[in-house]
Structure 1
Amino acid sequence: MANPLFSQPSIVREDRPDGSILLRSTEPLSGYPPTVMHTFAQWATTDPDHVLVAERDGEGGWREVTYGEALAATRSIGQALLDMGLGPHRPLLMLSGNGVAHMLTAMGALGVGIPIAPTSVAYSLQSQDHARIKQIAELITPGAVFADDGSAFSKAIGALGDMPRIVAAGEGDRTLDELRAIEPTEAVDAAFAALTHDSLAKIQFTSGSTGSPKGVQVTHGMWSANQQMMREVWPFLSQERPVIVDWLPWSHTFGGNHNVGMVLVNGGTLYIDGGRPAPGLFDTTLRNVAEHPPTIYFNVPAGFAQLIPTLENDAEFAATFFSRLRLVFNAAAALPPALRQRMRAVAETTTGHPVAITGSWGLTETAPAVTNAHYDFDESGNIGVPIPGAEVKLAPAGDAYEIRARGPMVTPGYFARPDLTKEAFDEEGYYKTGDAVVPADPDDPNRGLLFRGRLAEDFKLDTGTFVRVGAVRTALLSSCPLLADAVITGESASEVCALAWTNAAEISGLLGREATVEDEVVVDPDLSGHIAKALADHNGRAGTAGQIRRLLLMARPADLDSGEITDKGYVNQRKVREVRAHLVDRLYAPTDGDAAVITSGDRP
């Protein structure tokens, strides 16, 4: 039976003589405004008292900003930025994490045609040399820099040299309160009227692990088009204003474009979540969603791995969480089947009916959604079908296909890097993503595509056997819910092994205590026995290239600043193998007394 939340997919497939496949929706993309700021302004005019955004105040309550208050603030901020000489060619560099001050400042710039460059907080607060921040500033030559706390970001700001500093608090040249006190003039209206689909909205930097950051140009039209695409596959957005509780960083496309844009375009409310799926922080997320149950819940697999045990063990919390939830949305990496099944089970137990669990696929370069699973599915890694307006080419790549994208949501290229831009597109103008997929059903394009990981992460064993890292990783995590994530090893070796992290919430529930740690690894016979059994079960179902011979549990999670993991939770497989090469060596040269190395024969 069709899910009433979704429009039903209608996909046409064209097979070409060269082996490539073209996919597109037969549903046309409806018209959309030049910018998401146009839709926001309409909401602010028709319902100024509706809450747009809220964050925790210093006393544990919520500081709320309405649409009307936000419109007034952003007009004043826009005027002040224009007065400071910022404009289309002098962007605003933004160093801070998610917050009301960040959002109002960004919207003030966007509303008068000043591009913003939101950067990862790790570049400022975790880096010691601030090399990436300096590289970014050299590339884009910003007219000013914003930080919500000038004192906390003082070292990063200082690394930028003599540049006007705007702060919400702490040390700076101008405070946000000063900017909000400026009286807007006709210059604000003129700048807003001059915005077009092609106007540059953001310069967003990809989270690559090596080399200089690449600045993706995100135009206003890309962002606006992508939100209209989502409205067409999720028609309930036009019937019910969304409530979102979200931690995903605005320096990345999932949180900053997909989720913030969905709030602005659909007149919703965003509660900024100060938590995240990290040690000591997830309790904050649980508290926030309990106080403001969402209608759509967004997270990454690591977040769901911590959320689901709480839902299963706390019926009162589960009842609150599901009280007005329309759907659960996963991105960044495939949600392991076991987690998906558990989420479905606890949702149905709590509500008495199924709750949609869906996903999507896209990149910073596509603002971000290209495909969406707006239908019921069971296959792990199903990323959906092309949404209206998006054209997809599947280019043969071994036993899979590279997915390529074309449409109004695709970037015109990389800022000030025509060389990278030229390399990024094929001869027909499709963006080459480097991601591998296969059709879920070769005979029915409406069943979507299955994600097979990054082509650059796959490798061959010394036997010549090709290993699809994404598929092996997902299968392992599904077999062993005790694992939060895993890195697959074996390039140029004779067999596949894995480095992994445990899920603390699952471990405490199983053992009634924390696992035993020695140096960099977990050495716990009780835990090893459980994981060995799960590893044996995995190997019993896997093919030769998917069987994992040995596994090592790492005590230290992936590190953001070293490039092992992105802000949104995607583990860079190659970077982890590089940084932790000594642990990879330990996997392939285990000593007889190495109790930390787990094999499927270690079952109790």
Structure 2
Amino acid sequence: MSPLFPALTEALADPDGTAAHRSALRFGDRSLTYGELAASAAPLAARVGDADRIAVWATPTLETAVAVVAALLAGVPAVPLNPKSGGGELGHIVADSAPALVLAAPGDRLPDALASLTRVDIDVRTEGPAPALTPAPSPAPDTRHLADESPALVVYTSGTTGPPKGAVIPRRAVATTLDALADAWQWTGDDVLVHGLPLFHVHGLILGILGPLRRGGSVRHLGRFDTAGVTRELSGGATMLFGVPTMYHRIAESLPDDPALAKALGRARLLVSGSAALPVHDHERIAGATGRRVIERYGMTETLMNTSVRADGEPRAGTVGVPLPGVELRLTEEDGTTALEAYDGESVGEIQVRGPNLFTEYLNRPDATAAAFTEDGWFRTGDMAVRDPDGYVRIVGRKATDLIKSGGYKIGAGEIENALIEHPGVREAAVTGEPDADLGERIVAWIVPADDQAPPSAAELADHVAERLAPHKRPRVVHYLDVLPRNDMGKIMKRALAHD
């Protein structure tokens, strides 16, 4: 297939050319041009090229970006490791994926769970041109004929229903997803992306690092998200911001007292949120203060990106837009095979997708791989949604945790959460279901109040929801919390709530 990173390939071929001098990556005060990225990644690619698979200690640093690029240049699948994972989880991933090496930044202390792996320190060259590749390593980086189905990454899922599974993501899926997003977002080499997402997952790594590199543009990583960094980078030439709802919530909370942040966000060409639903209340606060609307996209580890609000489309709060080019999407009835044809904004079905964006398999799990697909090749996402008349998709929750069957109705937790957050006394909200002898399931709200000394009453919240949605969607039980449990990507861990 064609190179994943044309600008990097050009820099490798012509170290003194224009492409080599373009800015590629910046993490804090450390940065690399495409030439310097080539100078760092090409020798590393040659060094790891004989490995069947490698692990990358995925800290939010230049070293992680260089290591993953080197693996892709060499055609060796990379397994990003979350530095916050416990020893048991890391041990499972290492045993399951069997990497030959672990790549890490010099000085990084690795846990005992990785002691069996040969360590390779990542040498980042922040000065100088790419090394001459004559005679070139055999085969030369990114010039071997790599099949579209060649595995690029093995990314482990969150493991909410058992040990994490390794989703094998082929080069085909990386390239087609990034190109489809380029079409949807009018994303070009002139764009400068800023984000502060972790680099062990699809959002931060594939979209946030590999995306700009595929376009020949640049990325500025904050290392750790804060609103001051967002203000600085968007005021200094960045054109796009990627974040998760937790980040945008912090932005929305800061805007009333931070005119510089509002001005910086107003300069952005595109504000994108993903990995979980962004509450409508935060959408409206950001739009009101900045004149810019956040757009949402929808994807997951196994599918990369499925849908997005387009840059030239209507940035409608509460939706994830329309299917990306090349992606087929359908909703199905409870049997998982009968297509739900309604475009009425009310009928709930499971999202199933088919297209070149999909993963190949769960590593070493043929049973799980087979169960994830229908007989005719549709991937069962487990996400529940409705479709508006114009095709916009609105996700209402996960089939396992967010679809509540109460009083004969199928109810999505997401719309109730959005209604609750519109109440001035609610800072954050999550909704689950629990068994009820009469209703089948009753709706349970988990609330972080705006003022913990004077939280809104359960009756007040029930009336608030009933007025905005329908009486059968009101919460029957309300729990008050100091904070909602979230994972590293900002997703609420509802299974933890259910066991509180």
Quick check: TM above 0.5? yes
C-alpha distance 491-267 of structure 1, shift in aligned 2 (>3 A):
farther
Amino acid at match of 1:262: G
Shift of 1:534: 6.2
Larger RCO of the pair (alpha carbons < 8 Å, separation 6+): 1
1:233-248 pair list within 5 angstroms:
233-235=184-186, 237-238=187-188, 241-248=190-197
Between Structure 1 and Structure 2, which shows a larger proportion of helix residues?
1
CA distance in 1, matches of 2:36, 2:461: 54
C-alpha distance 462-69 of structure 1, shift in aligned 2 (>3 A):
closer
Shift of 1:290: 5.8
Name the structure 1 match of 2:144: 193
Name the structure 2 match of 1:496: 443
C-alpha distance 551-247 of structure 1, shift in aligned 2 (>3 A):
same
1:503-582 pair list within 5 angstroms:
522=452, 524-525=453-454, 528-529=455-456, 536-558=463-485, 565-578=486-499, 580=500
C-alpha distance 438-487 of structure 1, shift in aligned 2 (>3 A):
closer
1:414 and 2:368 matched: no
Name the structure 2 match of 1:77: 44
Shift of 1:247: 1.4
Shift of 1:573: 1.5
Select which of 305, 309, 312 maps to 1:373: 309
Shift of 1:190: 6.5
Name the structure 2 match of 1:221: 172
- Which sections of structure 2, spanning at least 5 residues, go unmatched? 336-346
1:350-499 pair list within 5 angstroms:
355-366=292-303, 368-374=304-310, 376-377=313-314, 380-397=317-334, 399-441=347-389, 444-445=390-391, 448-458=392-402, 460=404, 466-480=410-424, 482-492=426-436, 495-499=442-446
Q: Report if the CA contact (8 A) 1:452-1:471 is conserved.
A: yes
1:42 and 2:4 matched: no
Q: Report if the CA contact (8 A) 2:46-2:141 is conserved.
A: no
CA distance in 2, matches of 1:227, 1:150: 33
TM-score scaled by structure 2? 0.86
Shift of 1:140: 1.3
CA distance in 1, matches of 2:75, 2:406: 54
CA distance in 2, matches of 1:463, 1:230: 41
CA distance in 2, matches of 1:306, 1:119: 27
Shift of 1:118: 0.4
Select which of 263, 268, 272 maps to 2:221: 272
Shift of 1:253: 1.0
Amino acid at match of 2:22: H
Name the structure 1 match of 2:344: none
Deviating above 6 A after TM superposition, structure 1's stretches of 4 or more consecutive aligned residues are 180-183
Name the structure 1 match of 2:35: 68
What is the CA RMSD across the aligned residues, in angstroms?
2.8
Q: Deviations over 1:490-525 (max 9, x none)?
A: 3437642322335xxxx5xxxxxxx6xxxxxx5x13
Q: Report if the CA contact (8 A) 2:6-2:216 is conserved.
A: no
Count how many residue pairs are aligned between Structure 1 and Structure 2.
Answer: 476
Q: Report if the CA contact (8 A) 1:35-1:223 is conserved.
A: no
Q: Deviations over 1:224-245 (max 9, x none)?
A: 111111122233x23x621111
Counterpart of 1:322 in 2: which secondary structure?
A: helix
CA distance in 1, matches of 2:458, 2:227: 26
C-alpha distance 535-261 of structure 1, shift in aligned 2 (>3 A):
farther
Q: Deviations over 1:155-208 (max 9, x none)?
A: x2x22343211235xxxxxx667xx99985331417632322111100001112
C-alpha distance 459-197 of structure 1, shift in aligned 2 (>3 A):
closer
Q: Report if the CA contact (8 A) 2:420-2:465 is conserved.
A: yes
C-alpha distance 243-555 of structure 1, shift in aligned 2 (>3 A):
same
Q: Which structure would you say has the larger Rg?
A: 1
Percent identity of equivalent pairs? 22
C-alpha distance 190-334 of structure 1, shift in aligned 2 (>3 A):
closer
Name the structure 1 match of 2:67: 105
Amino acid at match of 2:287: R
C-alpha distance 557-463 of structure 1, shift in aligned 2 (>3 A):
closer
C-alpha distance 79-159 of structure 1, shift in aligned 2 (>3 A):
same
CA distance in 1, matches of 2:458, 2:24: 45
1:212 and 2:155 matched: no
CA distance in 2, matches of 1:431, 1:464: 27
CA distance in 2, matches of 1:197, 1:149: 33
Select which of 243, 249, 256 maps to 2:198: 249
Q: Report if the CA contact (8 A) 1:358-1:373 is conserved.
A: yes
